[in-house]
Structure 1
C-alpha cells in the first residue's frame, strides 16, 4: 500500500508547487483539465488510463506532466489517511470548498450510514478533479464532477466477447464466472448512477466521447484525448492571457525598462 500513498503525496506536492509558481498570474491556472472514464465491465478502463499516462509522459507540454490515476481503491486510501485528506483540503481555496460542498449536498439528500460513506467518496473525487490533472476511473466521475468546466468525460463499450476475454485474463476464472462478474459489475455501476444521480449510465449526453474498444485501439483513444485537451488549453489561454512575470523588463521605445530595487 505504500507505493500508491506515495503517488498521492507526490501528486499533492506537485499541485502545491504549481500553485506557488503561478500565484499572482492572471489566468495561469485557468485551465485545469481532468478525465473521467466510465466503462462497461471488461471494456478497458484501467488500460486506457495507463496508456493515456504513458502518452502524456512523452509530451513536452508541461500541461501533461504530473497526472495521477484515481480509482476506487486509491480514493478510499486517500479518504482513510487523515494527513493526506487534510493536506488535500488545505490546498483548495475556500471557493472550491464551497463549490464542492454545495454540489455534493445537491446530489445527495440523506444522512444514512451509506450516505456518509458515499458523500466522502464523492467529495474526494470532486476535490481531486478541481485540482486538475487527474484521471478518475469509475465511481460516477462524470456525474460527481458535473459543473466543473474542464472535464473530459469518456465512456468505453465493447462486445460481450471482447469484454469476456479481457475479464478472464484479469481474474483467471471460468467463462461462466466471468460472465456473472461482468453482469454484476455493470448492474452495480448502472445502479450507482441511477440511485445517486437519477441518470442512465448509457446516456451519451453524459460524455464528451464514447468509444467502442473493439474497433478503436487504446493508443488512438488516448491520442484523441490529448489532442482535445490541447485545443481547449489553447482556447483557455486566449481567454486568459498570462502577463509577463513581475520584474521582467518591458520593451518600450527607449529600450528595456527595469524595475528599481
Structure 2
C-alpha cells in the first residue's frame, strides 16, 4: 500500500513542466508525449465518485487515449492477455528514463520510488479497467449487508470462480466500509473505496490432465483506499492460477506467502 503524493497539484505540475513533457514512451518512430496524461492521472480526492469514475472525470483516460492513439503501445495494453501489472511494469521502466522526481517536489528523496510506484499503479489499474470496457458494480445497502453476513466457502475450486465482466470495479458503500478494515490501519476513517477484479489469460502453464496444454490465468484484486474522501493508495493481491482444482484458500495462501517473501 502506498501514498499517492503531494496534495498541491498546481505546484507539482509547475515543477514538472520543463522535465516531463519532453519525454515519453518510445513508439515505433518517435517518443510519445505523455506529460499531460501523467498530469491528469494524480488522484487526490474521490469526490463521492467510484475510483475509476474519478479517473475518467478528471480527464485522465481521455489524456492517455489521445497520447497513445494508434501506437503499438496502445494495441499491446488493450490486448486481453495484458494484465494491470504488465502495464505498471512498463510504466516503471519508462519512468526510469524520465525526470519524475521533479513531479514530487515535496517528497523526501527516499520516498520518490514509492511515489512513482503508486503513480504507476494508479495509471495501470485504471487503464486496464477502461481499456477492457470495465463496469462499476454497486450493491444496494441491503445486498451489501446480506453479503457481509454470509459465509464464504474458501474450499471452492478456482475453476468455479467466474467474474461477470472482463473488468469490474466493486464499489463499497458504507455497510461494507464499516466491516472491511485496512490491514495495519487503526484509523476509523481509513477504508476501502472498492476493488478492481481482473482475470487475465496468460501463456500456457504446462500439460493439463488430458495431455493438452493447460490455460493459465492471472487474478488481480486491486483495492483502492481512502481516508475522509482522500485517496491514499492501493492494497494489491496478484497471483497465477490454472482455474482448475486448486481451491480459493490455496490461491490466497500462495499470494500471501509470495507477498511475505517480498
If the length of structure 2 is used for normalisation, what is the TM-score? Answer: 0.27
* Higher helix residue share: 1
If the length of structure 1 is used for normalisation, what is the TM-score? Answer: 0.27
Q: Tell me: higher relative CO, structure 1 or 2? Use CA pairs within 8 A at least 6 residues apart.
A: 1
* Higher strand residue share: 2
Determine which structure has more spread, i.e. the larger CA radius of gyration. Answer: 1
